[in-house]
Amino acid sequence: MNKIKKGDEVIVITGKDKGKIGSVLSVIDSGERLLVDGINVAKKHVKADPNAGQQGGVVDKFMPIHHSNVMVYEPNEKKGSRVGIRQLKDGQRVRFYKTSDQLIDVKE
Q: pLDDT tens across 18-41, in order?
A: 999 999 999 998 889 999 999 999
Q: How confident is the model at residue 105 (pLDDT cuts 50, 70, 90)?
A: confident
Q: Are 63 and 75 in contact (CB under 8 A)?
A: no
DSSP code for 38: T
- The torsion of the CA quartet 41, 46, 50, 54, rounded to 10 degrees, works out to 0
Write down the pLDDT at residue 106: 66
- Which numeric CATH code is attached to 9-81? 2.30.30.30
SS3 of residue 46 by DSSP: strand
Q: How confident is the model at residue 107 (pLDDT cuts 50, 70, 90)?
A: low
Whether the full predicted model's pTM is greater than 0.85, yes or no, is no
Strands 70-74 and 79-81: antiparallel
Rg (CA), the chain: 17
